[in-house]
Amino acid sequence: MSDPTYAGKTFRFGVDNGVVFHNTYAADGTGLRYETVAGPTKGAVEDVRLHAAEVSAGVFIVGWVEQSGMTVTHAMNLNTKTVHAFWTYETPDGRVGELHTGTLEEI
């Protein structure tokens, strides 16, 4: 993978369900600090280790596992500033997955 073009940057990630994150990527592209700034988990902050691959120029698959056990995968297109996100988490009825779309704005 060439140098990840998201490395060292912070993006506002607005999700189709109304949740908004500020995602700050480590300078080497291997870490992420996310902060939920709108939505039901507003105020949540976590540092996670990233697994990433560039699938074409400016398009990355980025994934991580959160302390809660939630898994998150982003198909992040920096050319169009869009994200397709898939996450899974446990509920009392078992593990569920959600697919979302969103937009990026560098801040």
Asked if 60 and 78 count as a contact pair (C-beta separation under 8 A), the reply is yes
Say which residues have a Cβ less than 8 Å from residue 7's Cβ, sequence separation at least 6: 25, 26, 27, 28, 29
What pLDDT is recorded for position 67?
95
Residue 4 has pLDDT above 90, yes or no: no
Domains in the chain with CATH codes = 10-106 (2.40.128.20)
What pLDDT is recorded for position 72?
97
Residue 1 has pLDDT above 80, yes or no: no
pLDDT digits (tens, 9 = 90+) for 81-107: 999 999 999 999 999 999 999 999 999
Q: Which of 34, 36, 26, 21 is nearest to 3 (CA)?
A: 26
Q: Does residue 66 sit in helix, strand or coil?
A: coil
What pLDDT is recorded for position 107?
95
pLDDT digits (tens, 9 = 90+) for 16-73: 999 999 999 999 999 999 999 999 999 999 999 999 999 999 999 999 999 999 999 9
What pLDDT is recorded for position 81?
97
Asked if 57 and 46 count as a contact pair (C-beta separation under 8 A), the reply is no
